């Protein structure tokens, strides 16, 4: 559902650029679950197959789809052109060209990053509670000092948020900060060919349950 809604957002942005959909219409349908559901149903067969939800999933899909412009992207009505090069390896006339993208990733502020860290900590406390592991906030903070644990915590927190987005709840750019905590490299760029899977989240949770048990109050 996450992948299909993202592909639909990209398709909508492209349709705005080509004049097939007006900017105002696209923004309305991309931010309101009820409007999105009606629009998707009305244009169901026009939507690309890989971005088209099953009809029985439409209410949940529309709720999820409506969170993208709050959490991760801004839809730009009149984007400026800039020089683009795949992977930024060369900007010579042979390897680059001018583009004007109207779908732009949100800027993550220091407040968003701070909130993402708090979400990760709350997620670990939630996991501990669900598994009847007694840990303090200071012990959780100690666990999160490890880079691998931080990545796992971001994965799990993002997984929890996906479930909330299916209800139309959007937490804002802090979620984008969580995404970059596991889908981006330490150098600050997207991991090539990265694709989120349920298995990644499950394994991350299993790993952190073990770590929390080793760091619980009173020791192993």
Q: Higher pLDDT residue, 14 or 184?
A: 184
SS3 95: coil
Confidence of residue 6 (pLDDT cuts 50, 70, 90): confident
Angle at alpha carbon of residue 121, lines to 116 and 122, rounded to 5°: 95
Question: Which tokens hold the place of 2?
Answer: 């996450």
Euclidean distance between CA atoms 120 and 129, whole angstroms = 14
Q: What is the pLDDT of residue 99?
A: 39
Question: Which tokens hold the place of 109?
Answer: 């502020």
Instruction: Tell me the range of 70-79, 89-98, 131-140, 211-220 where mean pLDDT is highest.
Output: 131-140
Phi, psi dihedral angles at 48 (to 5 degrees): -55, 145
Phi, psi dihedral angles at 36 (to 5 degrees): -60, -45
* pLDDT tens digits, one per residue of 12-64: 777 766 665 665 666 565 666 777 788 888 888 888 899 999 999 989 998 88
Share of the chain above pLDDT 70, in %: 77
**Which residues are within 8 A (CB) of 108 and not within 5 positions of it... i.e. 6 or more apart?**
173, 176, 177, 180
Q: Higher pLDDT residue, 66 or 24?
A: 66
Share of the chain above pLDDT 90, in %: 45
Domain ranges of the chain: 2-105, 110-214
Which of 130, 132, 120, 27 is CA-nearest to residue 73?
27
Residues 92-112 have a mean pLDDT of 65
Confidence of residue 91 (pLDDT cuts 50, 70, 90): very low
Residues 72-96 have a mean pLDDT of 55
Whether 36 and 29 have beta carbons less than 8 Å apart is answered as yes
**Comparing 63-67, 117-121, 171-175, 206-210, which segment has the lowest mean pLDDT?**
63-67
172: alpha, beta or left? (left if phi > 0; alpha if psi -120 to 50): left
Whether 127 and 207 have beta carbons less than 8 Å apart is answered as no
Residues 71-88 have a mean pLDDT of 60
Looking at 43-146, list the stretches that DSSP marks H as alpha helix, in order from N- to C-terminal side. 58-65, 68-71, 110-130, 137-143
Q: What is the pLDDT of residue 9?
A: 83
């Amino acid at each position: 559902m996450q992948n299909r809604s993202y592909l639909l957002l990209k398709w909508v942005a492209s349709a705005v650029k080509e004049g097939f959909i007006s900017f105002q219409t696209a923004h309305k349908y991309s931010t309101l679950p009820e409007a999105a559901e009606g629009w998707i149903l009305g244009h169901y067969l026009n939507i690309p197959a890989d971005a088209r939800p099953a009809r029985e999933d439409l209410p949940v899909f529309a709720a999820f789809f409506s969170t993208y412009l709050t959490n991760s992207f801004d839809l730009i009505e009149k984007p400026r052109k800039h020089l683009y090069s795949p992977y930024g390896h060369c900007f010579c006339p042979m390897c680059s060209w001018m583009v004007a993208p109207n779908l732009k990733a949100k800027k993550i502020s220091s407040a968003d990053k701070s909130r993402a860290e708090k979400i990760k900590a709350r997620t670990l406390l939630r996991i501990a509670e669900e598994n009847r592991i007694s840990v303090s906030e200071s012990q959780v903070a100690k666990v999160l000092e490890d880079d691998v644990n931080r990545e796992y915590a971001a994965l799990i927190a993002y997984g929890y948020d996906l479930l909330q987005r299916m209800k139309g709840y959007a937490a804002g750019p802090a979620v984008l900060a969580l995404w970059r905590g596991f889908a981006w490299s330490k150098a600050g760029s997207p991991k090539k060919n990265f694709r989120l899977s349920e298995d990644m989240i499950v394994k991350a949770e299993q790993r952190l349950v073990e770590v929390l048990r080793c760091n619980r109050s009173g020791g192993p």
